[in-house]
Structure 1
Amino acid sequence: MKNVVVLDNGACTLKICRSGETVVRTVPNSIFRSKTERRKSFVSSRIDSCKDFSSLFYVLPFQKGYLLNWDVQRQIWDFIFGKDVLNLKFNETSVIVTEPHFNFASIQESMNEIFFEEYEFNSIIRINASTLASHQYSHDNPEENCCLVVDSGYSFTHIVPYYKNRKIVEAVCRIDVGGKLITNHLKEVISYRQLQVMDETYVMNQVKEDACYISMSFNEEMATCKKKGKENTVLRDYVLPDYTQIKRGYIKPVEESKKPNPKSKTQEQTIRLTVERFTVPEILFHPSDVGISQMGLAEGILHSISKCPEKYRPHLLRNILLIGGNCLFPNFKERLEHDVRELAPDEQEIFIILPPDPTTYACQGGMTWSNSDGIKKHWLSQRDYQEGGQVTCAKYFPDI
């Protein structure tokens, strides 16, 4: 078997797995610059050595979902492929690397050149993360030919239907809502109501992950937030990190959050969270709440399925697969199931699958696929690239 590396090259995180390993590594796909530590830079997972995460600058290779800052991305790849992480021998290694849907030809060509001419990998496959997830799903459920992948990541949410692991291109749907927009909206709400946190992206991303959830009954929870005392079950206080005693923020226990804010002996700084806990991630289901004139998740799913051949539609509704970091919000699966059920025909069965770790599921799918015979025809070798160049790449990686 080849020495294979699967690189799920997300806009926020890189998910990496290599042949012989069972664990998927997740590292940040960014360079961090600190205001406090003499403008020191931290590449990807080296951020773990940072002592003060306040006011970190993110230097991102991706802009609006597409890889544009090649110098930054190369620094991160050099670190990942180097001795500190994977320690690769490029000429003996084959790589499966993901790219966004609707990627630009110029970006694809640059990626081909870097992987073949600079790193000199033995062979590569360039593919979408949702396609790898489809391969994993078909491996786990061999009796199913259809699968609808909902990939809600950092920049976008894509809804992609598959038949026998071939995506139905004309039915792919994109919603311009992702984790970055949700974090930015939370920063704006907190800054307007309580505390200036527009420069605290790293911390507010943690607040989003720790405190936000998807509401199962939006109007009822809004009414709950107007109540006082113990009846307000939504209100919670979040203790912000000070990077001396508190390294990471946390939600206070319910009983402590209900009390008026006394002067703390430890001088801890808190923010009080109520409606923003569920109104901010609600953008996924109603993008119009922040002025984005697009369908929400449930409407997008039904719209995508309506673009598929009629004979596939019941099977797609029965095999909806959730991947991406936004699927980790509490109640995400249940709310989506409820909303899709309301819109779908009554006679059709709906089943939504949330993997144990939706962020690494695609990477696992790449490794599973690499062990199958079906992948052999998709590898583009160094020799074939040298002979045919970019024309050969276009033939090997159309829309697999």
Structure 2
Amino acid sequence: MNNICILDNGAYTAKVGLASQEAPQLIPNCIMKAKSERRRAFIGDQIKECRDASGLFYLLPFQRGYLLNWDTQKTVWDHIFSPDCCGINLSEKTLIITEPHFNFHSIQEALTEIFFEEYECDALFRTTAADLSALHHLKSNTVPADCCIIVDMGYSFTHIVPYVKGEKIKNAIRRIDVGGKVLTNHLKEIISYRHLNMMDESYVVNQIKEDVCFVSSDFQRDMKTQKLRYPENTIIQEYVLPDFTTVNRGYVKKPEGPAPEQQTIKLNNERFTVPELLFNPSDVGIQQMGVSEAIMNALDSCPPPVHHVLLENIVVTGGCALIPGMGERLQTELRALAPDDMEVKVIITEDPVAFPWQGGRVLCQSTDFSEMILTREEYEEEGVGASIEKFDP
């Protein structure tokens, strides 16, 4: 296990560690530049060294969910594997790395070449976060017919991937172009329109989203509540913005607490209307199904005899799964859409962000893992095309 490294290379966060570790390190998968320190670029987790994180400029390796900026990604990987961060030397190690669904062959070939040529890996296994999540769930639970639906709520996309007998049903995979990035950008626009201009404050607004947003269990009821005055209005919250002098991260002010010296904004219906985009993408002009409808649509493409098992094993992973109320809302909507004679069970994993990485640990322990990997000998004999034949037959 010490010679196997697992890298869940997400568009927002890279989860990395040796298979012998209990948990991965979470490192921002980007390079950031701050107004206060223009000469220095902060790579990955170096952002914690930044004294003033206002107005950060991001260099992201991923664009629209796919790895396109290779210079940025290589810089982040160099930092991740350096002694200053994880300190993992990939030479003579096997690497398990994740990629998006429907990834382009050109990206896959470049990925293979970089890790064999630049990092001198001994072997490589390329997979998706959903595949690892499914393996983790199916191995840790007694699931009839090895069936489950993985709902991967990532940074750029939300993917719904059904698995039957441990194999994914490719024609049943559904993708919604809404993820954490769309939610943060929408909240940024709302705050900038209603309160003060925060269009350049992605870092701070993302923290606001994590601190105050929730998924409404009854949207119409909450819309009525947010029109009331405090204290009847139980939704409104006052958020204290960071000044990066005395307060480095914003927080929700207690109603009875003293007035803080820092700038504050009052957040009302945006607390639940922003995550609502996952259920109604048309609210921002994305003409696609919401996540509940997409799950049922994916189910229709699966064999009818396993529908009841799939509905009892809906596993939600990814950063957006951490939004409070997500499981309850999905459970309610799917219960209304599913046949009355079938049980519905939505499972929010204990650690939705690290769940796929943990699936990588399960994969390492499988008896046929050594046959699944692409070895350096195979790569040197057949070239980069060997990875396409091995992992995407």
TM-score class, shorter-chain normalisation, is over 0.9
Amino acid of the residue matched to residue 133 of structure 2?
A: A
- Kept after mapping to 2: 8 A contact 1:133/1:361: yes
Equivalent residue for 1:339?
333
Tell me, in whole angstroms, the C-alpha distance in 2 between the residues paired with 1:143 and 1:181.
34
Post-superposition CA distance 1:208-258 (Å, at most 9, x none): 0000000011011110111112101011100000011111100011445xx
SS at match of 1:373: coil
Amino acid of the residue matched to residue 381 of structure 2?
A: E
The equivalences for 1:24-173 within 5 A come to 24-144=24-144, 145-173=146-174
Cα drift, residue 2 of structure 1: 6.0
Equivalent residue for 1:356?
350
Amino acid of the residue matched to residue 109 of structure 2?
A: E
Judging changes above 3 Å, is the alpha-carbon distance between structure 1 residues 28 and 3 closer, same or farther for their aligned structure 2 residues? same
Post-superposition CA distance 1:257-302 (Å, at most 9, x none): xxxxx9x5x5310011000000011000010111110000110000
Equivalent residue for 1:398?
392
Q: RMSD of aligned C-alpha atoms?
A: 1.3
SS at match of 2:266: strand
Equivalent residue for 1:219?
220
- Kept after mapping to 1: 8 A contact 2:6/2:96: yes
Cα drift, residue 90 of structure 1: 2.7
The equivalences for 1:311-350 within 5 A come to 311-350=305-344
Equivalent residue for 2:299?
305
Tell me, in whole angstroms, the C-alpha distance in 2 between the residues paired with 1:120 and 1:110.
14
Q: What are the ranges of 5 or more consecutive residues in structure 1 without an aligned counterpart? A: 257-261
Cα drift, residue 376 of structure 1: 2.1
- Kept after mapping to 1: 8 A contact 2:109/2:388: no
SS at match of 2:98: strand
The equivalences for 1:249-328 within 5 A come to 249-256=250-257, 264=259, 267-328=261-322
Runs of 4+ aligned residues of structure 1 deviating over 4 Å after TM superposition are: none
Equivalent residue for 2:209?
208
Question: When the two structures are superposed, what TM-score results if normalisation uses the length of structure 1?
Answer: 0.96
Equivalent residue for 1:372?
366
Amino acid of the residue matched to residue 18 of structure 1?
A: L
Amino acid of the residue matched to residue 65 of structure 1?
A: G
Identity %, equivalent residues: 48
Amino acid of the residue matched to residue 47 of structure 2?
A: I
- Kept after mapping to 2: 8 A contact 1:2/1:94: no
**Deviates most, 200-209 or 2-11:** 2-11
Equivalent residue for 2:11?
11
Amino acid of the residue matched to residue 383 of structure 1?
A: E
Amino acid of the residue matched to residue 66 of structure 2?
A: Y
Tell me, in whole angstroms, the C-alpha distance in 2 between the residues paired with 1:92 and 1:386.
15
- Kept after mapping to 1: 8 A contact 2:242/2:248: yes
- Kept after mapping to 2: 8 A contact 1:17/1:367: no
Q: How many aligned positions are there?
A: 392
Cα drift, residue 20 of structure 1: 1.8
Tell me, in whole angstroms, the C-alpha distance in 2 between the residues paired with 1:2 and 1:203.
37
Q: What are the ranges of 5 or more consecutive residues in structure 2 without an aligned counterpart? A: none
Amino acid of the residue matched to residue 71 of structure 1?
A: D
